[in-house]
Structure 1
Amino acid sequence: MADSTFATPDLTTFARLDTLGLQVTGQFLEPDRAVLACRAVKGDELCRACGEPGRPRDSTTRRLAHEPFGWRPTILLVTVRRFRCDGCGLVWRQDTSAAAEPRARLSRGGLRWALTALVCQHLTVARIAEALGVSWNTANDAVLTEGRRVLISDPSRFDGVRVIGVDEHVWRHTRRGDKFVTVIIDLTPVRDRTGPARLLDMVEGRSKQVFKTWLSQRPETWRTGVEVVAMDGFTGFKTAAVEELDEVTVVMDPFHVVRLAGQCLELCRRRIQLATTGHRGHSGDPLYSARRTLSTGADLLTEKQQLRIAELFANEQHLAVEATWGVYQIMISAYRDPNRAAGKNRIRQLIDSLASGVPAALIEVRTLGRTLRKRASDILAYFDRPGTSNGPTEAINGRLEHLRGSALGFRSLTNYIARSLMETGGFRPGLHLRLR
């Protein structure tokens, strides 16, 4: 570092206090924190009632938690002067609103740091409170209040939504109280390839009426703009969408369609297992040993797995399992077909073939056929809407599971919804958080 030059450090600029209207006048290092003595730059000597110059009366000190440097809590001791007007007798103090909200314990810089740490770096509130040198309740209340202001209460949060996804989510694991919520996701950025999906809202309960009520509360112009709703196999969500959204296209997610076929195969395997052996699957039973191999796509089977499947289906008692497995494989290969038109045609042919003429012995396949026929338009709509899938919705559900785990659970649904919106609602501190 031969060419480096050093000058007297400017703590005001280093601590980013110039943007808060403060100037550092001194510093003191304690074993567990750094303390910066500051004064407000703005004078405010004129009386706010009559406009006459006031005279200094006394001063008071305001203590604020600021963003930490080197993970050491930084405390601001702001000296605030008070003035008195000899003409009207009014007493006032210097304006420090640029540094912090009235009665706030965090500076605006500390609040911005806390919100960024929570949303972008996924730190816990406990870790943030430790870094700021404040209590958990102080950090949590400040972050939730600011998050509601810059994101949740932002009227433009619902602008430009054309594709949404809806799914249920378990927000707590308790025996008492409703543990389910309905999550509504904006999938427009995913379809347009402009960004990730984001959480739009979370509503208590999981039913047709819950989703229908949420949709009815949206403005008419917003509902008219929604083109596609991606969902799982729950018919209540579909009914609500069709009743509240004009000319909307409902798309049933491929994952849930394949899962229906997978469940059909598993139920058939268990039924035949019980019928042929008289007991549930045991180690060494052919059907039980091949349960994972049966759920694997045919194009991914190893030679050993292919041999196991051939030996399994060589037994005439397993014909029902073989027929159900064939339906499952056709569905998987259709969705994996790189030609979407060809894949759609194969799914349509499968649905038509299961609509009638299925032997009575294939109980599970007959049930699957009725379900596929009932949701045929929703299943086929996937192939006409590239990039529309409920997969991002499931991904956000996974992020919410991580949030709940890092917080060791939530007792308040209101706080959980607020934290979820900040975590997965598309918040970007550089775009949303502005010092007032």
Structure 2
Amino acid sequence: MPDATFTCPDLTTFTRVDDLGLEITGQLLEPDRAVLACRVVEPDDWCRRCGCRGVSRDTVTRELAHEPFGWRPTTLLVTVRRYRCAECAHVWRQDTTAAAEPRAKISRAGLRWGLVAIVVQHLSMARVAEGLAVSWNTANDAVLAEGQRLLIDNPSRLDGVRVVGVDEHVWRHTRKGDKYVTVIIDLTPVRDGTGPSRLLAMLDGRSKKAFQDWLAERDQAWRRGIEVVAMDGFFGFKTATTEELPDAVCVMDPFHVVRLAGDALDDCRRRVQQELHGHRGRKGDPLYTARRTLHTGADLVTGRQHERLESLFADERHIQVECTWGIYQRMISAYRHHDRSVGRVEMSSVIDALADGVPTALVELRKLGRTLARRVCDVLAYFDRPRTSNGPTEAVNGRLEHLRGLALGFRNLTHYIARALLEAGGFRPQLHPHL
């Protein structure tokens, strides 16, 4: 088809500029971009000051970056007519707000394309800027502002939230400034089995005040609707929830509870290693060789690992490690039990055993017992509320790690928060009904 032309749909419809109130009058294909000459469809020749009809004075052109086609950057060269009122001498130009914001360099269709590329296709901002043929700062400011207006500031975004997860997140791995932020996750779809978790908010810093202030900013009806808050062992999140959401149930999720026991096991192993050998673990040391096997669930241990554990615990000098390992395995078994009521009884017995009668030498277990005694209600609450844990929160943290790697790191926390909300805020259906 060497002489193909646009008939139905025509070039205006094909490039979707009709939604912008424009009509294409010509095109120019260059090696690095496509230029579409456009005019404004509506004449807009009535004076905004006195209401009289104006006369055409001259024209000006406005250049807008448009969504690319075939990854060829597309530029709209819009001819804008200017009018002059014969009565009051007022001069004005045709309204182009349907095509773009005043003084904007990117069309509304270009902004939507950039937003879909960021949220749905997970492209970097540099790639979006390349597709629009604008600078990185121009693309970043415009696309994030559009995302803030269209998605993040949506007043209904927090509707229907019943289960909340809160956790810390490391947003940068440098020594300069605070590296922690607080992430707040909607776990309601996970509990109800209707979808994945989504990011509700990201707060500067990791403290009770940051979480409490965010809760205080929500209206009373929304706070009364929160039923469960899943969290880690940080007591600041617990006190903030108790003060601002008195009717909500705090749940300390299994991942962090087992992690506390795992840390106690590691600390005990290192202490015994130092007491017996006077140095940290080295290749060939039994305690060092079994460091990973000790963290494997008893029901998943292979034959070789079982032999390694038997050899390790045959030495009476490792009795403290064996005791700590036993508590660790009992906690895992309680969480993995198919009957939650039985698992709850098992976990309760573990906490009771750690609260009383632990030998003084087992300093790690004594410390673990004190921690669990303070949060016993939160730990046991998990067994009464299925599918309520901070596991999906860790999944969102993983997506944010991917985002930071895609952007090769962030230096501006404001940009990071906006990008994180767009990346993990669950906005796909609103952006494109077919994606």
| TM-score (norm. length: structure 1) | 0.95
The equivalent residue for 1:248 is 248
The equivalent residue for 1:38 is 38
Task: Give the drift of 1:293.
Answer: 0.7
| Contact map agreement 1:72 1:131 (CA 8 A) in 2 | yes
1:361-400 residue CA offsets vs partner (Å, 9 max, x unmatched): 3222222122112111000101111111111111112222
The equivalent residue for 1:306 is 306
Equivalent-residue separation in structure 1 for 2:84 and 2:278 (angstroms): 94
> Compared with structure 1, are the counterparts of its residues 71 and 432 closer, same or farther at alpha carbon in structure 2 (3 Å cutoff)?
closer
Number of equivalenced pairs: 430
Equivalent-residue separation in structure 1 for 2:310 and 2:247 (angstroms): 48
The equivalent residue for 2:354 is 354
The equivalent residue for 1:103 is 103
Q: Which runs of 5+ in 2 are unaligned?
A: none
The equivalent residue for 2:338 is 338
The equivalent residue for 1:409 is 409
**SS of match in other structure, 2:292:** helix
| Contact map agreement 1:150 1:432 (CA 8 A) in 2 | no
Task: Give the drift of 1:50.
Answer: 3.2
| Contact map agreement 1:200 1:425 (CA 8 A) in 2 | yes
Task: Give the drift of 1:140.
Answer: 0.6
1:431 matches 2:430: yes
Superposition CA RMSD, Å? 1.8
Equivalent-residue separation in structure 1 for 2:308 and 2:131 (angstroms): 58
> Compared with structure 1, are the counterparts of its residues 6 and 338 closer, same or farther at alpha carbon in structure 2 (3 Å cutoff)?
farther
Moved more, 236-245 or 189-198: 189-198
Q: Superposition pairs for residues 140-155 of structure 1, below 5 Å?
A: 140-155=140-155
| Contact map agreement 1:184 1:201 (CA 8 A) in 2 | yes
1:400 matches 2:400: yes
Task: Give the drift of 1:262.
Answer: 0.7
The equivalent residue for 2:229 is 229
The equivalent residue for 1:159 is 159
Equivalent-residue separation in structure 1 for 2:101 and 2:275 (angstroms): 72
Q: Which runs of 5+ in 1 are unaligned?
A: none
1:40-74 residue CA offsets vs partner (Å, 9 max, x unmatched): 11121222333332221111111010000111100
The equivalent residue for 1:129 is 129
The equivalent residue for 1:213 is 213
The equivalent residue for 1:93 is 93
Task: Give the drift of 1:6.
Answer: 8.3
The equivalent residue for 1:285 is 285
Moved more, 40-49 or 374-383: 40-49
| Contact map agreement 2:116 2:431 (CA 8 A) in 1 | no
Equivalent-residue separation in structure 2 for 1:147 and 1:159 (angstroms): 19
**SS of match in other structure, 2:148:** helix
Equivalent-residue separation in structure 2 for 1:220 and 1:344 (angstroms): 33
Equivalent-residue separation in structure 1 for 2:300 and 2:406 (angstroms): 36
1:282-338 residue CA offsets vs partner (Å, 9 max, x unmatched): 111111111111110111111111111111111111111111111111111111112
Task: Give the drift of 1:359.
Answer: 2.2
Equivalent-residue separation in structure 2 for 1:369 and 1:242 (angstroms): 22
Task: Give the drift of 1:411.
Answer: 2.3
Query: What one-letter code is carried by the residue in structure 2 that aligns with 1:327?
Result: I
Query: What one-letter code is carried by the residue in structure 1 that aligns with 2:32?
Result: D
The equivalent residue for 1:11 is 11
| Contact map agreement 1:112 1:433 (CA 8 A) in 2 | no
Equivalent-residue separation in structure 1 for 2:322 and 2:349 (angstroms): 19
The equivalent residue for 1:72 is 72
**SS of match in other structure, 2:395:** helix
| Percent of pairs with identical residues | 68
Equivalent-residue separation in structure 2 for 1:93 and 1:392 (angstroms): 53
Q: Superposition pairs for residues 363-402 of structure 1, below 5 Å?
A: 363-402=363-402
Query: What one-letter code is carried by the residue in structure 2 that aligns with 1:51?
Result: G
> Compared with structure 1, are the counterparts of its residues 27 and 43 closer, same or farther at alpha carbon in structure 2 (3 Å cutoff)?
same
1:23-46 residue CA offsets vs partner (Å, 9 max, x unmatched): 111110111001111111112122
The equivalent residue for 1:272 is 272
Moved more, 97-106 or 51-60: 51-60
Equivalent-residue separation in structure 1 for 2:177 and 2:316 (angstroms): 50
Task: Give the drift of 1:401.
Answer: 1.9
